[in-house]
Chains A and B, each alone.
Chain A
Amino acid sequence: MHWTQYLPPLIEGAWVTVQLTIYSTILGAVLAFAFGIGKLSSNWAIKAVSVAYIEVFRGTSLLVQLFWLYFALPLAGMAIGVDLRLPPVVAGVLALGLNIGAYGAEVVRGAIQSVHQDQLEAARALNFTPRQTLWNVTIPQAVPEMMPSFGNLAVQNLKDTALVSLISLGDLTFRAEQIRNFTQDSTTIYSMLLVTYFGMALVLTGLMRALEAYVSRWRTARS
């Protein structure tokens, strides 16, 4: 087989990888904000849940989490009489999103804490409620601070999607494995695979830079 014949299945797999990356990054971002803000909550129950989530998902391996959701969760569901069998794509997105969300939560927490105390005092002097302060003062200033770390995490997430091939999800790595099993042409296929991931990472880095410029535009507009 000529190497160009590998392209159609690889492109098909690459599209699955792109979708996985998008969905799990969005899920991760939502979780990151929820639990990052939750960790700073004055309500001890919300704080405890947030800390537990962050520690568990940062403290264990992603592959362990993925296998747990895919192999162990259905058995846990059976024990309590609920059908918790997840399709591979749901298990994959869930594991990736939960994992990256825990790392993101620490980034969100750090960025929120970096907002200057004067700002909060000013908001208070203007009689803002805590909620208004959070949404109108803290978050808009914290988001640009988060973006460089979020960019790194997005690339990290893209790389981690390769692991879902191990629960038989037809992503880029899975397709490449299939072709290799068929042709035994390891050098070509894995070189193509590495280059494709590298290209996707470069595009993703570019997109995250653009997003960073977009959410930071108020900074340049003011000066």
Chain B
Amino acid sequence: MLFGYEWDLSSPLAFAISILPILLTGMVVTIQATVLGFFVALVLGLVWAVLKAAPSRFIAWPARVVTEFIRDTPLLVQLFFLYYVLPEYGIVLPAFLTGALALGIQYSAYTSEVYRAGLEAVGADQREAARALNFSAVHTFTHVVVPQAIPRIVPAMGNYLVSIMKDVPVLSVVTVLEMLNVAKIVGDRTFDYLVPLSLVGALYLIMTLLASGGVRLLDTWLPKQGIPLK
């Protein structure tokens, strides 16, 4: 029994049906971690992108090194680092928050590149026009550059959302009860790993196919709204 649901080991099909609610409970945690991690990646990635575009090389260069370092080291190790090292300095976060933070930090290195490409895609003539209309630098950024950059970055960000979802099982190593961890616990208790793990694979396939279908829909819908993606 897990989360109040009994399993039925009479046949593989009955077993699969009986543990589905348990796995769906885990799926909720997977989705929560994905959304929170994605949010952190979006915010932190924008910070990196702005720092990397800074006119001073004393700001831009360290930001570039840091994002390269984040991009070139494994999520698992970053997660261990946050989970075991932060408490030594008095920062004790729940496992779920640490995990979402690790996901967000890892993917911020990737999203910062998406922002950079999106911002560069807005032509210099746009900035010049804003300047001719006497817009301030901040006003130009918020009212001219960003509204044009956002539609360009949406599809790429969507792909990273799917990637984050696929990396959530890594959080199981710090005791987060996401879908894979729940399936593993069911396997540990029933000695049958085949059904729970296969079911997790199938559920993942459904989740990613739905999510990438959504991204593709945006890909076709945005140009129809008169917003070019390239």
Q: Is A30's CB within 8 Å of the partner chain B?
A: no
In the bound assembly, the distance between CA atoms of A195 and B138 in angstroms comes to 38
User: Is the Cβ of B166 less than 8 Å from the Cβ of A62?
Assistant: yes
Which DSSP category, helix, strand, loop or mixed, fits chain B's interface?
helix
User: Is the Cβ of A72 less than 8 Å from the Cβ of B193?
Assistant: yes
Interface size range on A against B = 35 or more
User: Is the Cβ of B201 less than 8 Å from the Cβ of A65?
Assistant: yes
User: Is the Cβ of A68 less than 8 Å from the Cβ of B198?
Assistant: yes
Q: Mark B77-88, 1 if CB is under 8 A from A, else 0.
A: 110110011001
User: Is the Cβ of A63 less than 8 Å from the Cβ of B201?
Assistant: no
Q: Is B170's CB within 8 Å of the partner chain A?
A: yes
- Chain B hits for A67, CB < 8 A: 180, 184, 193, 197
Which among B74, B77, B84, B204 has the highest number of chain A CB atoms within 10 Å? B74
Q: Which of A160-199 contact B (CB under 8 A)?
A: 160-163, 165-166, 173, 176-177, 180, 186-187, 190-191, 193-194, 197-198
Shortest distance from the beta carbon of B88 to any chain A beta carbon, whole Å: 6
Out of A76, A177, A198, which one reaches B194, CB within 8 Å? A76
Shortest distance from the beta carbon of B92 to any chain A beta carbon, whole Å: 13
In the bound assembly, the distance between CA atoms of A190 and B102 in angstroms comes to 14
- Chain B hits for A194, CB < 8 A: 69, 73, 77-78, 81
What residue in chain B is nearest A63 (Cβ atoms)? B169
Shortest distance from the beta carbon of B83 to any chain A beta carbon, whole Å: 9
Instruction: Name B's A-contacting residues (CB within 8 A).
Output: 69, 72-78, 80-81, 84-85, 88, 165-170, 172-173, 180, 184, 187, 192-194, 197-198, 200-201, 204-205, 208-209
